[in-house]
Chain A
Amino acid sequence: MHSLLAGQPGVATSKQAWLNKLRSSAVESVSELTIPTTRDEEWRFTDLTMLTKVSLQPAQTSVKLSAADIQRFHIKEAENCLVFVDGVYAAHLSKIDNSLIILNNLSSLVDSQAALLQAHLAQQVASAGNVFAALNTAQLRDAAVIMLPRDTQAKAPVHLLFIATQKEVVSYPRTLLLADNGCEATVIEDYVSLQDETYFTNAVTEFVLADNARIHHVRVQREGVKAFHIANCAATLSRGSNYQSVNIAMGARISRYNLNVKLAEGAECSADGLAMISGRQLADTHTCIDHAQPHAISRQLHKCIVGGGAHAVFNGKIMVRRGAHHTDSEQSNHTLLLTDKAHIDTKPQLEIFNDDVKCTHGATIGQLDKDEVFYLQSRGVTHEHARNMLTYAFGAEVIERIPVASLKHSLEQTVLEQTSAKI
């Protein structure tokens, strides 16, 4: 048995019996599961053999970071920031302004908000059949909890910063957002690293949107180059609610992001993504947008920029259930392969159990458009520079959808640097 699955050490018992039970049933799920292999349909293109060969332990010691150490990750628009170091909540680095919203580490809210937490925690991302989600719940201790009261409008984004500092450590970042009726907020989930050694981030994120709630979810995965990153995110949308997500994956040796969005009547979501990888990186995005009820709208633009000998995977499932009339869904997936060795496996997967729907999907895979390169050259720009600019622009189309100006700008700068596109 792999060290990840062997014995589940060191999570202190809570006063809340339901939480202990949640963890113990997750431990049980783990005992019934194994690390998936490429023989599993859902993992056909993503080989985790490398992950099973490294020895990983939860962080035993804590690294003391100062505000200066993480200054470069600061997002100036964010008035609220929760910081987790190797999965452990760092109160001294966090900034909480509870005036509008309830925001804290799980341990601070577990007694006062027990009923709500019990009703929702681990209910969107289930442990059954999902070994990584089960492991996360089995280890559940610290977690970012955001509760938005009815009709609140949080103008400033909330920044959740997960920092990896130690090698051969596995961390279990956990986020729960409960958005009550009619509230509005932007949440940034940000995975960063202060090191280039091997480690493993196994994250679970759950969003619950009540009627008419409007949530922007920005997810930035910029882990270290030797990291493994596996994340499960689920968003459950009630009537008329709106979930706009942008997922940027740039880091990690191997990364996998599972996003499941479930839409109630009249709900609307966008699930956009950009994977920009090179060298020997692998970035796998699996999304499932579930039109469970009528009149829901979904939009998805997923782009991949694949350089070196990197490998991108995209599996975009759109499910339209029986009775989900007037479903309106659009999906597009565009991939830019920068080298002959770059590789993409992409699969749109439409499962429609209804007649009265509008579902479109399109996928393109290719190199840069010759006419576009020529246009820039005809304006005095060299061939190489033209290519770099167009590669940048390809990615920028997704980054532009991030509603936080400074983060958008810094990610654009990152893409500019990676593409050497001086503008």
Chain B
Amino acid sequence: MIYPDSKTILEVRNLCASVEGTPILKNMNFTVKSGEIHAIMGLNGSGKSTFSKVLAGHPDYEITSGTVIFEGKNLLEMEPEERARAGLFLAFQYPIEIPGVGNSQFLRLMYNTVQTHRGKEELDPLEFDDFVREKMKLLEMREDFLDRSVNAGFSGGEKKRNEILQMAMLEPSLAILDETDSGLDIDALRIVAQGVNQLANKDNAIIMVTHYQRLLNYIVPDFVHVMVDGRIIKSGGKELALELESRGYNWVSDEYKAASRVAA
């Protein structure tokens, strides 16, 4: 939702990033204010997943220029764990499996680590159990989910739900959902979207990175951005996603090239 006096959560200015010397992000500009839901759409290779990983601090990407300010702090100087503790959350496209580490142990470790750094009390195992079970209801998750190893043997839908469960627990001020809809059937998509919608409020913001319009039927964005070749070339409202779905991406590129020629 767009609120009149909302504060800026994320400000990306002229961001350039490369991997092994190959530029991927080329002058990315992007602003997110509290309460807003953004969708970044683009074809494979457009740089949209790179953008989400760069925000979360993946070590493979080298920032060659530009700035990213997250709630007044220089995000690019922070380690990935510091970003998480400061309130940035990335829901992974491919969450990892950790055999031998119980999901509930892992969730408690994650939760308590982040809470401690936010100056809040840790929860003991019993308190945590109540807390996590309450959050699990939001995502219609089965009880045995806590006893299994982290993501080991989870279906695609279960892994994604586990990601959103973590989001629900950490209450980030900025959540980035990287291809959260991929591999989900309609039921799972509905549950995941419902969870995300319940977590959205006027103090936080959400960025959805996606290839398809499908997710946006369930989580309705305030802004839709089209990413091509490492930068955002067009922004609009939710109707832009529908247009992309019906017309494809080429017209946006053509329009952008034409505008660039005029500008030159």
Q: Answer whether A and B are interacting partners.
A: yes
A375 at the interface (CB under 8 A from B): yes
A122 vs B190: C-alpha distance when bound (angstroms): 65
A390 at the interface (CB under 8 A from B): yes
**Nearest residue, chain B, Cβ from A422:** B109
| B residues 80-101 touching A (CB-CB < 8 Å) | 80-81, 83-85, 89-90, 92, 95-96, 98-101
Chain B CB within 10 Å, residue with most, of A380, A381, A383, A396: A380
A-B contact pairs, 6 of them (CB 8 A): A374-B80, A376-B96, A377-B57, A377-B84, A392-B100, A396-B99
Question: Which of these, A380, A393, A399, contacts B117 with CB under 8 Å?
Answer: A380
Q: How many positions in chain A have a CB within 8 Å of any CB in the partner chain?
A: 26
A393 vs B97: C-alpha distance when bound (angstroms): 9
A395 at the interface (CB under 8 A from B): yes
Task: Please report B residues at the A interface, Cβ cutoff 8 Å.
Answer: 56-60, 79-81, 83-85, 89-90, 92, 95-96, 98-101, 105-106, 109-110, 113-114, 117, 149, 166, 170
Supply 12 further A-B pairs (C-beta < 8 A) apart from A380-B84, A393-B98, A423-B106: A369-B96, A370-B59, A378-B57, A378-B90, A379-B84, A379-B110, A380-B85, A381-B109, A381-B113, A389-B98, A396-B99, A400-B99
A371 at the interface (CB under 8 A from B): yes
B149: chain A residues within 8 A (beta carbon): 400
CB distance from A219 to the nearest CB of B (A): 19
A423: chain B residues within 8 A (beta carbon): 101, 105-106, 109
A391 vs B126: C-alpha distance when bound (angstroms): 28
B101: chain A residues within 8 A (beta carbon): 389, 392-393, 396, 423
B105: chain A residues within 8 A (beta carbon): 423
A372 at the interface (CB under 8 A from B): yes
A42 at the interface (CB under 8 A from B): no
A113 at the interface (CB under 8 A from B): no
**Nearest residue, chain B, Cβ from A379:** B110
A82 vs B114: C-alpha distance when bound (angstroms): 48
Supposing A378-B83, A380-B84, A380-B85 touch, asked if A393 and B58 sit within 8 A by C-beta, the answer is no
A189: chain B residues within 8 A (beta carbon): none
Inter-subunit contact A377/B92 (CB<8 Å): no
A390: chain B residues within 8 A (beta carbon): 98
Interface of A (DSSP majority class): helix
A172 vs B90: C-alpha distance when bound (angstroms): 56
Supposing A381-B110, A381-B113, A383-B79 touch, asked if A412 and B57 sit within 8 A by C-beta, the answer is no
**In the A-B complex, the 4 residue pairs with the closest CB atoms:** A396-B100, A377-B80, A380-B114, A380-B84
| A residues 398-423 touching B (CB-CB < 8 Å) | 399-400, 412, 422-423
Inter-subunit contact A380/B81 (CB<8 Å): yes
A79 at the interface (CB under 8 A from B): no
Inter-subunit contact A375/B79 (CB<8 Å): no
A345 at the interface (CB under 8 A from B): no
Supposing A379-B84, A381-B113 touch, asked if A412 and B100 sit within 8 A by C-beta, the answer is yes
A400: chain B residues within 8 A (beta carbon): 99-100, 149
A49 at the interface (CB under 8 A from B): no
Task: Please report A residues at the B interface, Cβ cutoff 8 Å.
Answer: 369-372, 374-383, 389-390, 392-393, 395-397, 399-400, 412, 422-423
A399: chain B residues within 8 A (beta carbon): 100
B81: chain A residues within 8 A (beta carbon): 377-383
A376: chain B residues within 8 A (beta carbon): 96
Inter-subunit contact A378/B56 (CB<8 Å): yes
CB distance from A377 to the nearest CB of B (A): 4
**Nearest residue, chain B, Cβ from A421:** B101
A371: chain B residues within 8 A (beta carbon): 96
CB distance from B37 to the nearest CB of A (A): 21
CB distance from B179 to the nearest CB of A (A): 15
CB distance from B116 to the nearest CB of A (A): 9
A423 vs B99: C-alpha distance when bound (angstroms): 13
CB distance from B203 to the nearest CB of A (A): 20
B114: chain A residues within 8 A (beta carbon): 379-380
Inter-subunit contact B99/A397 (CB<8 Å): yes
B99: chain A residues within 8 A (beta carbon): 393, 396-397, 400
**Nearest residue, chain A, Cβ from B166:** A379
A372 vs B95: C-alpha distance when bound (angstroms): 9
Inter-subunit contact A372/B100 (CB<8 Å): no
**Nearest residue, chain A, Cβ from B118:** A380
CB distance from A166 to the nearest CB of B (A): 36
B106: chain A residues within 8 A (beta carbon): 423
B113: chain A residues within 8 A (beta carbon): 379-381
CB distance from B98 to the nearest CB of A (A): 5
CB distance from A330 to the nearest CB of B (A): 18
A379: chain B residues within 8 A (beta carbon): 81, 84, 110, 113-114, 166, 170
B92: chain A residues within 8 A (beta carbon): 375, 378
CB distance from B224 to the nearest CB of A (A): 25
Inter-subunit contact A377/B79 (CB<8 Å): yes
CB distance from A39 to the nearest CB of B (A): 40
B59: chain A residues within 8 A (beta carbon): 370, 374
A422 vs B90: C-alpha distance when bound (angstroms): 23
B109: chain A residues within 8 A (beta carbon): 381, 422-423
A377 vs B60: C-alpha distance when bound (angstroms): 14
A383: chain B residues within 8 A (beta carbon): 79, 81
**Nearest residue, chain B, Cβ from A400:** B100
CB distance from A413 to the nearest CB of B (A): 12
CB distance from B105 to the nearest CB of A (A): 5
A378: chain B residues within 8 A (beta carbon): 56-57, 80-81, 83-84, 89-90, 92
A396 vs B106: C-alpha distance when bound (angstroms): 14
**Nearest residue, chain A, Cβ from B58:** A374
CB distance from A395 to the nearest CB of B (A): 7
B89: chain A residues within 8 A (beta carbon): 378
A393 vs B80: C-alpha distance when bound (angstroms): 21
**Nearest residue, chain A, Cβ from B111:** A380
CB distance from B57 to the nearest CB of A (A): 7
